[in-house]
Structures are given as C-alpha cells and as structure tokens.
Amino acid sequence: MEPTNTGIGELAGINGENNAPQVKDSSTSEFRTDVIEASNNTIIVVDFWATWCGPCKTLTPILEKVIANSKGLVGLVKIDVDKNPELSSQLRIQSIPAVIAFSNGQPVDAFQGALPESEVQKWIDQLISQHGKKVAPSPVEEALISAEQAFENNDIGSAGALYAQVLNIEENNTKALAGMAKCYLKADKIDKAREILDKIPDELSADENIRSVISAVELAEESSSSTEDIENLLEILQKDPKNLQANFDLGIALYGNGEAEAAIDRLIEVIRENRDWRDGEARQQLLKIFEAHGPTDPITISGRRKLSSILFS
C-alpha cells in the first residue's frame, strides 16, 4: 500500500480542470460558440460593459469573483459594447452594466446596474439551483469514490493503491491521507498508520477526516497495548460488577476485539456509576469512539443516545 505511480497517467494533468472557471472576452462573431453553444453544457453569464462605464468597474470584478467560486457550474463571458454594437442592439442592451444568463441556448435571467456582492451571489446561487448542470466528478474524486467502495468491500489492497494514487497528485488530500491510515489499521499495521499521521501538517489536523482517523489510530494503539484479557475482566466483574477500572479496561479490550457496541456499553456503565471517574476518562474515551466512527455511523448515533440518557437524566 505504499504510494506508487501506478495509474497516475489517468489522473495527472487533468486534476481540477472540471472545476476551472470559464472567464473570457468575446465578440459578435464568437457569441454563438462562446455563449449559445457553451450554455448547453453550463450556465453562461454575459457581462455587457464599456471602458468608460464606472459601475461596470465595480460589478465586473464581483462577477468574476463569485463565478470563480462556482466550481465550474457557471461561466463568464464579457462583451465590450463599444466594440460590438451590433450584438448589443440585437439583444436590446439599452444601458450598462447589463448582465444576461444563458442556459440551453436561451436567456433565462438578467439584471441591469451594479449590485453588491451579496446580491450577485444570491442571483448566481438561484441560477445554479434552477438551471445548473450536474458536473462529472474529477479523476481524483472518482479515485476517492472507488477507494471508499473498495474499502467498504474489504478490498484493502485496491483501496490503498487508489489512495496512494491520489496522494501522488495531491499530497495533502485529507480524504486520501485518512483513507491510507485506515487501510493500514484494517491490515493491523498500526505503526504504519501512525507514521502517516505524524507527517500530516498541523494546519490539516482540524479537518474532520483527519480528526476521525487520529481517534481511530489512538484507539487501536490503546487496545494493542492493553494487557488485559477479556475473560479475566469478565470474571472480575462477575464478583464485583461495579469495579470501574475493570469496566473501563473491558471497554478498551472489547473495542480492540472489534466489539464497538459492547465497548460503548461498558464505558456507559462507568459513567453511570461515576461521571467524573479519573477526570471523566470514560466519557473522553466514548467521544473518541464517536469521532473515529463519524457522526452518521449507527454505532455513534446509538452510543450518543445512551450517553445523553445518562447525562440528562
């Protein structure tokens, strides 16, 4: 599962192009290609402007900024009305700045005058909502989707190879970094997973994918270092059911044995008996499990419900 260059040719060079904003100057002769035909693939916003127009100098940079952030869902075409009077006349442009949106070869919305950025953003958002085309995932996104599917199917080798391909292109892609670490965890190579985490830049540590895998690696490390035997702990608890240390240790051991729900139940028992035991260590351990599994995992949802029933009872 070490990063390799296998298959990189299909990904390199075109990564990100699907999301590149289309911003260009056009003319009467190019209008059919740049606007009418292009609008069959994506929304095209046409900005009619002139060098002497003061409000145009305010509006055009706003349009460029908002459309650049549309992830390729909207393109911008700029028309100088002084250089293209015939086109302006055909489209009945009476004052500038004038902005017309095209989709599927037809005008679908328009406004005149300079608008503040918030209003332009709202207008663009509405265009996307009503007329936006579905954008095909980029090659990197497709690789990540395939890697996640392979991981879910327990094909760890294929998942790791796909994550490695992505990391050869985007070395700080948090989904791929987290995915590689999880592949190593699945293969019981905790040290390799830790190596990946130790190389992740500090500025990425707040990313939800990274936070999740950090918790997963820490849980795996704790479980692997535990010397407690599940059967021995069960014997202790049979004699002393309220032994908090034994319940806590059993939770760690059960989680390392792949029994997450049973582990949560043991930690819940510790909290039920004493919420502040060892400065709330059982609750901290529960939160770590929830973060490792993610907010939508049934294990997290069920565990949080059980925790809430105790904390707010």
* Residues designated as active site: 53, 56
* CA atoms of 63 and 84, how far apart (whole Å): 20
Query: Do 169 and 12 form a contact (C-beta atoms < 8 A)?
Result: yes
Sheet with 22-25, side-by-side order of all strands? 22-25, 74-80, 43-49, 98-103, 106-112
- How does DSSP assign the chain, residue by residue? -----TTHHHHTTTTTGGG--EEEE--TTTHIIIIIIGGGTSEEEEEEE-TT-HHHHHHHHHHHHHHHTTTTSEEEEEEETTT-HHHHHHTT--SSSEEEEEETTEEEEEEES---HHHHHHHHHHHHHHHPPPPPPPHHHHHHHHHHHHHHTT-HHHHHHHHHHHHHH-TT-HHHHHHHHHHHHHTT-HHHHHHHHHTS-GGGTTSHHHHHHHHHHHHHHHHHH----HHHHHHHHHH-TT-HHHHHHHHHHHHHTT-HHHHHHHHHHHHHH-TTTTTTHHHHHHHHHHHHH-TTSHHHHHHHHHHHHHHT-
Query: Do 179 and 148 form a contact (C-beta atoms < 8 A)?
Result: yes
* CA atoms of 130 and 244, how far apart (whole Å): 58
